[in-house]
Chain A
Amino acid sequence: MAVRTVIPFGPQHPVLPEPVHLKLELEDEKVVGVTPVIGYVHRGIEKAAELNSFRQNVFLCERICGICSITHALTYCQGVEALTGVEVPPRARFLRLFWSELSRAHSHLLWLGLLADALGFESLFMQIWRAREMVMDLLEMTAGHRVITSTCLVGGVRRDIDKEMAKEVDKRLVALKEVLDSTAAPALLHDPTIKRRAVGKGMLSKEQAELLGAVGPTARGSGVAIDMRQTGYAAYKEVGFEPIVETAGDSYARTLVRARETYQCIELMRKSLAMMPEGEILVRVDGYPKGETISRTEQPRGELIYYLKGNGTNNLERLKIRTPTFANIPALLVMLPGCEMADVPVITLSIDPCISCTER
């Protein structure tokens, strides 16, 4: 009988940008059991949110995650707007969609680069991050900051995109698409090394994904068409949205979902800029949040849930945040057993873990 050994994977590991610790039980080279340990980067943001005023919380929530900061701010603002009964002007909703999709493109390109890096494909990594730099420039141009944009406010958005800038943005988006077409897409679609490392690895069947409550590209890679953008928040209803689904359920399917979503982001951004109605972008918010609500949006990694409880004062009574990685960890525990030790980094990466979000 093979000897069982326990090998720690993380919290510091060359391919992991995030501090998750997995205790891997191995039989020779084969993984037979996994125990996850999280709790290395808890920051107490939920408690801090009870002490700040509800307007200041927008900037606190943005700092939960550096990559999808706008989606966190958007989810929080939607919650507070529901509690105060504020109607957001249509133009602001289109701008919110634009920035959410821009941060999604940023997140997916970052992840595709990290995947190439984890596979040891350095030149592809650099090419994808070069394309990502174009997205960062767009963020700086439209929002004023590269990472934490601070554009979303309770009652609307802070910045407008005028006609001239919209034209320039459109031009840059087309250029981004061309760069992706000529570098990232062919390598991801045809490279035999990538396929050998990802196809058939980290299987998650449709039934398992539904049973374990997987969200985002992890669920969509297994054929579950679940995407919060279908609910039509912000301006997704007007712009029109169809989730991208792959059915294979392996690491490669999840990669393809993200690669195809990056293209979809570009299309959604261009559509939202073209369809944006004229009008104001920020309305006055009177009164304080009262009652409780749940606000749900789609982050690049999956469904994000905010629970807010207000008591009619300037501070919230409770803010609870459920991030997508938390929902995807059970799915990861099903994917890993049965794989080789050498495949663990790529499979772990394939759920796009964001532990800083998870622990807040």
Chain B
Amino acid sequence: MAWMFPTIIKNLFSRPATRRYPFKDIREPFPGYRGKIYWDVSKCDLCGDCARVCPAEAIEVSLENRQIKYDPFKCIYCGTCMQTCLPMAISQDKYYTKPAAAKAVETISVPV
């Protein structure tokens, strides 16, 4: 067991390597982490491209109601919508969705 001893002794006196999620010690995500999607409604022209390309069907665009419905629990955070949107109305946060007790759909209204 001689080869494990130095490691074991070192581990005895060092901080735990695990993170106590969700209480504390949560490491900042790296820059460029692909997290939650959000809209800049002033740029969106409701073309519906994002809803068409989304592999998870997490977006619904309604031109009549001038509304976008986004389901963060269906979303797989692939970033395809962001890449597709021509006016660049979609951005991706670097934080992931927090665990939640109930699933909810976000409704985003687009002003005229």
Which A residues lie at the B interface, using CB under 8 A? 52, 55-56, 58-60, 63, 123-124, 127, 130, 133, 137, 140-141, 144-145, 148, 150, 158-159, 182-183, 186-187, 190-191
B33 within 8 A of A: yes
Q: Which B residues from 51 to 97 make CB contacts under 8 A with A?
A: 53, 55-56, 76-80, 83
The residue from B1, B29, B79 contacting A158, defined by CB atoms under 8 A apart: B79
Tell me the smallest distance from the CB of A237 to a CB of chain B, in Å. 30
Q: CB distance B76 to A148 under 8 Å?
A: yes
Contact in complex: A186, B3 (CB < 8 Å): yes
Q: Which B residues are in CB contact (< 8 Å) with A158?
A: 79, 83
Given contacts A56-B55, A59-B78, contact A150 B3 (CB under 8 A): no
Does B22 interact with chain A (Cβ within 8 Å)? Answer: no
Q: Could you tell me the dominant secondary structure of chain A's interface residues?
A: helix
Does A141 lie within 8 Å of B3, measured CB to CB? Answer: no
Q: Are A140 and B30 closer than 8 Å at their CB atoms?
A: yes
Q: A124: which B residues are within 8 A, CB to CB?
A: 4
Chain A residue with Cβ nearest B83: A158
Closest CB-CB distance, A337 to chain B, in whole Å? 34
B8 located at the interface, meaning its Cβ lies under 8 Å from any Cβ of chain A in the complex: yes
Taking each of B34, B79, B83, which has the highest tally of chain A beta carbons within 10 Å of its own beta carbon? B34
Chain A residues, CB < 8 A from B30 = 137, 140-141, 144
* A52 and B55 contacting across the interface, CB-CB below 8 Å: yes
B7–A150 CB distance below 8 A: no
Given A124-B4, A140-B29, A150-B79, A56:B34 Cβ within 8 A: no
B interface vs A, CB < 8 Å? Answer: 1, 3-4, 6-8, 17, 29-30, 32-34, 53, 55-56, 76-80, 83
Contacts of B76 in A (CB 8 A): 59, 63, 148, 150
The 4 closest A-B pairs by CB, nearest first: A186-B3, A56-B55, A144-B34, A59-B55
Docked complex Cα distance between A70 and B1 (Å):
37
CB-based nearest B residue for A150: B78
Q: Are B7 and A182 in contact (CB under 8 A)?
A: yes
B7 near A144 with CB under 8 A, answer no
A60, B83: Cβ atoms closer than 8 Å: no
Closest residue of chain B to A183, judged by CB? B7
Please give the distance in Å from B17's CB to the nearest CB on chain A: 5
Counting chain A CB atoms within 10 Å of each CB, which of B3, B4, B17, B77 scores highest? B3
Give every chain A residue within 8 A of B1 (Cβ-Cβ): 191
- Interchain CB contact (< 8 A) of B55 among A60, A123, A187, A191: A60
Q: Which residues of A contact B32 (CB under 8 A)?
A: 141, 144, 159
CB distance from A243 to the nearest CB of B (A): 28
| Across-interface contacts of B78 in A (CB, < 8 A) | 59, 150
A145 lies within 8 A of B34 (CB): yes
**In the complex, which residue of chain B has the Cβ closest to the Cβ of A139?**
B30
Q: A140-B30, A183-B7 are in contact. Are A145 and B77 (CB under 8 A)?
A: yes
B53 close to A190 (CB less than 8 A): no
A282's nearest neighbour on chain B, judged by CB, is B83
Contact A190 B34 (CB under 8 A): no
> In the complex the two chains form, is B29's CB within 8 Å of A187's CB?
no
- CB A76 to nearest CB in B, in angstroms, measures 13
* Contact (Cβ within 8 A) B53 A187: no
Cα of A56 to Cα of B57 in the assembled complex, Å: 10
Interface centre among B4, B29, B78 (most CB of A within 10 A): B78
